[in-house]
Amino acid sequence: MKSQIFLLFIAGLLAFSSCKKDDDMEIEEPTYTIPTTYNFENVSYGGQTQRIGMLTEMKAYMKSANTSGTALDASKLAAMFANDAANAGWAATYEDSKQIRSKTFGPVQVTFDDLLVDLAAASQSTVAGTDGTAGVVTSNDGAKNYLLDDQGVELGQVIEKSLMGALLYYQSAGVYFESGKIDTDNETVTAERGTEMEHAFDEAFGYFGVPIDFPTNTDNIVFWGNYSNGRDDVLESNKTIMDGFLKGRAAISGKDILARDEAIKTVRDGWELVIAGTALHYLNSGLGNFADNSRRGHALSEAIGFVYSLQFSPTKTITNAQVEELLTLIGGSASILESNLYNVTEANLNSAKDKLADWYGVTDQKDEF
């Protein structure tokens, strides 16, 4: 009996010692270095670079219609959108598997098909644009010319800016940062590609349109990188977003998923604020040029595209209904296919500006954008 009691006593001591040891143990934190540039091992985002190249060429072709007498070919626009290389007339070489249309948010692909047809139709006009008639409209000072449709909308700007949201922003915030892409294998390393998780994050970075040493280097920034830089004075967006990308990629390689998720939130929130701030910038421009049909139509067409872009993140600050409310205030319709900028009022533009600034917590800065 005494021996049994002694054995129980020893077992109790061992259990207490084990528990105490576990309680005193420190959890080992992941250790890794966050670099100052996006210069990691096995980085690849060539597909993103190619689609940015396609959109750049498409933008230039659409913009050519701002010169009176330049008619756009609807079949060429469709070919550029879907990478039909035989008919797109690309200046650069792109892989057959890469295209803009298939990576655009699925439910709105047809919307862009229709917008491209409408743009080509507007460009056929041989007369100056007026309310009810498509054509090139010259600014009051004679310095600017923009192709506006019969409702005063510069469709080329609506298409470009809306595609920046429905393609570039959506793919990063709504695809590569989501669990189906980002929560994948992070053990098997493939040369020049990394792990599947690293690769997904790299592809999200590729759509931002900046060099690996941004924002120290702002040469050749395109699309979202360019607009982040444009809002940086107010939002300090360049460093915020780039630091998020750097931290997130380093955290993935360091197997620190908590830090990865924090970094993704930083990038998503910062990117969304750039979109909202840029929409405010063009609302300010539209209001400042309200008496000039050409400049007003140009600025508000951009505002429409940027507001439209706000809907493509699963963690967005505002709802789709609020996006539609803003679009209706600016262009008279929740549909970007039906906007009318000849009927816009200053009261509605100011209402859109106030709501947007309030929803994004930048009311004090709304006139600075």
pLDDT beyond 90 at 336: yes
Q: What is the DSSP letter of 193?
A: T
pLDDT beyond 50 at 3: no
Mean pLDDT, rounded, of the chain: 94
Tens of pLDDT, residues 209-254:
999 999 999 999 999 999 999 999 999 999 999 999 999 999 999 9
pLDDT at 297: 98
Specify the higher pLDDT residue, 86 or 7.
86
Distance CA 275, CA 308 (A): 10
pLDDT tier, 28 (very low <50, low <70, confident <90, very high otherwise): low
**Both structure tokens of 341:** 């900028």
pLDDT tier, 30 (very low <50, low <70, confident <90, very high otherwise): confident
- Give the number of other Cβ atoms within 10 Å of residue 24's Cβ: 7
Tens of pLDDT, residues 218-228:
999 999 999 99
Q: Describe the crossing of helices 320-331 and 293-309 by its angle, rounded to 10 degrees.
A: 170
Is residue 256 within 8 A of residue 161, CB to CB? The reply is no
321-353 burial: b if 16+ Cβ within 10 Å, else e: ebbbbbbbbbbbebebeebebbebeeeebeebb
The predicted model scores a pTM of 0.92
Distance CA 225, CA 125 (A): 34
251 by Cβ neighbours in 10 Å (0-12 / 13-18 / 19+) ranks as buried
- For a pLDDT cut of 70, what percent of the chain falls above it? 92
pLDDT beyond 50 at 7: no
- For a pLDDT cut of 90, what percent of the chain falls above it? 92
pLDDT at 27: 57
pLDDT beyond 80 at 363: yes
Is residue 288 within 8 A of residue 365, CB to CB? The reply is no
pLDDT beyond 90 at 146: yes
pLDDT tier, 26 (very low <50, low <70, confident <90, very high otherwise): low
pLDDT at 256: 98
Distance CA 42, CA 33 (A): 16
pLDDT beyond 80 at 269: yes
Tens of pLDDT, residues 31-65:
899 999 999 999 999 999 999 999 999 999 999 99
